[in-house]
Amino acid sequence: FVSSSLVTLQVLYKLKTAKVFEKSRNKDDRPNTDIVDEDPYAIQIISWCPESRMLCIAGVSAHVIIYRFSKQEVTTEVIPMLEIRLLYEINDVESPDGEQVPPLPTPGTGSNPQSIASQSHPSTSSSSSDGLRDNVPCLKVKNSPLKQSPGYQIELVIQLVWVSGEPPQQITSLAVNSAYGLVVFGNCNGIAMVDYLQKTVLLNLGTIELYGSNDPYRREPRSPRKTRQPSGAGLCDISEGTIVPEDRCKSPTSGSGSPNNSDDDQKMNNFIEKVKTKSRKFSKMVANDIAKMSRKLSLPTELKPDLDVKDNSFSRSRSSSVTSIDKESREAISALHFCETFTRKADTSPSPCLWVGTTLGTVLVIALNLPPGGEQRLLQPVIVSPSGTILRLKGAILRMAFLDTTGSLVPPAHEPWREHNVPEDKDEKDKSKKRRPVSVSPSSSQEISENQYAVICSEKQAKVISLPSQNCIYKQNITETSFVLRGDIVSLSNSICLACFCANGHIMTFSLPSLRPLLDVYYLPLTNMRIARTFCFTNNGQALYLVSPTEIQRLTYSQETCENLQEMLGELFTLVETPEAPNRGFFKGLFGGGAQSLDREELFGESASGKASRSLAQHIPGPGGIEGVKGAASGVVGELARARLALDERGQKLGELEEKTAAMLYSADSFSKHAHEMMLKYKDKKWYQF
């Protein structure tokens, strides 16, 4: 956490997210983190609610940690944890009718229990009959008590687990809402929603399941184990065991009861087992490559490495090749936004909902039915259901926001921060203020008639849609030759606008809701993928991105800020003119008695008449100028310094000589004294008295 209110950046707070996990000392102790050998604790996405001080991070090992701010030091005995099997897989055998799309499965009648099953308890290392990892997270949470200092403290740890030998896919989008008490995240397999107040999983669906029967791409549900193979789809079909002995080719001359049939079956089974083993090794190698590449790529380029795929027009050809099927089936969740708006065309009042954007340019709306606040919020479940509303754009969805009828930004609902570790001893009024009401009831006809505008930005275009009619009133094609890396709805000069950063280095801004172009400048080409992953816009015409892992670049695209930049930088000294001395009155000078400073010019000069004094010499600058004077002055100063040093040395020598003279004088006095005593001793003695 860094303070950027000044021109310089000041570090305020540091938080380590790896201390909740057990660190393995050698590679033998970490069998589950082989998909991310570089740094399994690296942070990829951050979602922060500054009003409630809730922080949510998504790591590279498919884990999500929810933090709550507290000023009290606590010791957590058991860290709350949830494990989720986020996998969309129905049957390996595809439906023979390619035009028929299965209906939306429900938790009670779903065709795949894996799509709705979740693990809320710590799982142990388990494996299936053929030795594949299953229900194993990539990281292991500490079992010992954890002492948490004041600041951000762990509220919940969510981990995606391995499924049938396949590692969990990395999280591509994340959002948290403190008013609803919900956190939602998604990847290329599907979406999951968690109630962190009740510590339960509310939603666990594949991306195709969100469409139901309204899938515009007419995709057949496939196993992700097949779709993850870029070039070996036929090999994976054999490895899945779809060929049965009855479907194999038989020789016309061979009988059904031939003794060679058993040997042929045995050889075929051995061949299939070898193919299975090699296909698993190949899938593991591909998963390692994808995991390492995803650390260096942004979200759009991670899921669609080819720029031609980004041109996601609706008139694309329905090719039946394996490559096109894989690209269409790998539809990831790219944007999430909680809001209170109209979910359907027939709605008369806004209600809590979640807007979901995908990499294929589709926006889906999920309705949320929340229980009342207080104790009932902790006891009654949250009901989540798809609304059926589907909107489509060109390119992957990057950002969504909502405006009211005046064009002002509608912020998401939030809960004010309060201390949770202090016992509650306040009155009922404080309890009623814990959570603001999230469902808006139409209390007047004005509220019913008020509309909202949804602003949706994708990699290619931006749209403003009127709600609840869902009519597109404004549309703007941002770029045709490139694609947008980052889009944000920011405040600039007391107005709301859409700011975009394209891969060709252009920064573009558009007015809202009219989407009129305001700015298009060339700033920086995309030379480093770190820029694409970390670039973000802020209010007042500023932006940030990471130049290196330890350097932050701050820029501005506001003319007002550029003009005031020199004043914002400041100076070491502030120049202040010397004030003039006040005029002394006659009585103050007569009775003051203080000393009065007199100027020589006032006494002897002719300043009163405006002429120079004749007794003063006039300065005529020589050819040397100021430089010569400075050189001469520096030479004189150097000579004076050397003379002073020599004088100091002479003084020291004289001091030493004085000390030696005093010592000789003292020794002479003592010798004279001893000689006098010797003379007195032998003065009266004769020679015969010895």
Angle at Cα 108 formed by Cα 102 and Cα 111, nearest 5°? 35
- How many angstroms separate the CA atoms of 178 and 647, rounded? 78
Tokens read off for 458: 């994708």
How distant is the alpha carbon of residue 439 from its chain centre?
30
| Contact indicator for 122, 139 with CB cutoff of 8 Å | no
Burial code (b: 16+ CB inside 10 Å, e: under 16) for 591-618 equals eeeeeeeeeeeeeebeeeeeeeeeeeee
- Give the N- to C-terminal CA distance of the chain in Å, as an integer: 102
pLDDT digits (tens, 9 = 90+) for 390-448: 999 999 999 999 999 888 888 888 888 888 777 665 544 455 444 444 443 333 333 44
Closest residue by Cα to residue 298 from 398, 165, 206, 226: 398
| Contact indicator for 240, 130 with CB cutoff of 8 Å | no
Q: What radius of gyration do the chain's Cα atoms show?
A: 41
Helix (H, G, I), strand (E, B) or coil at 550: coil
- How many angstroms separate the CA atoms of 173 and 196, rounded? 17
Q: What pLDDT is stored for residue 4 in this prediction?
A: 76
Helix (H, G, I), strand (E, B) or coil at 562: helix
pLDDT digits (tens, 9 = 90+) for 355-403: 999 999 999 999 999 988 788 888 888 999 888 889 999 999 999 999 9
The parts of the chain modelled with pLDDT lower than 70 are 7, 24-38, 88-131, 216-329, 423-450, 568-573, 584-629, 686-690
Q: What pLDDT is stored for residue 365 in this prediction?
A: 93
Please report how many Cα atoms fall inside a 13 Å half-sphere around the Cα of residue 177, on the Cβ side.
25
Where do the structural domains in the chain lie, given as residue ranges? 11-94+104-232+274-418, 478-567
| Contact indicator for 134, 119 with CB cutoff of 8 Å | no
- How many angstroms separate the CA atoms of 312 and 361, rounded? 7
- How many angstroms separate the CA atoms of 361 and 357, rounded? 7
Give the dihedral sign, CA 495/341/401/539: positive
| Contact indicator for 198, 205 with CB cutoff of 8 Å | no
- How many angstroms separate the CA atoms of 280 and 166, rounded? 9
Exposed, middle or buried: residue 76 (CB in 10 Å: 0-12, 13-18, 19+)? Answer: middle
User: Peptide bond before 621: cis, by omega within 30 degrees of 0?
Assistant: no
Helix (H, G, I), strand (E, B) or coil at 400: strand
| Contact indicator for 328, 309 with CB cutoff of 8 Å | no
Ranges assigned E (strand) in 425-504: 452-458, 461-467, 471-477, 484-491, 496-502
- How many angstroms separate the CA atoms of 65 and 158, rounded? 6
Q: What pLDDT is stored for residue 514 in this prediction?
A: 92
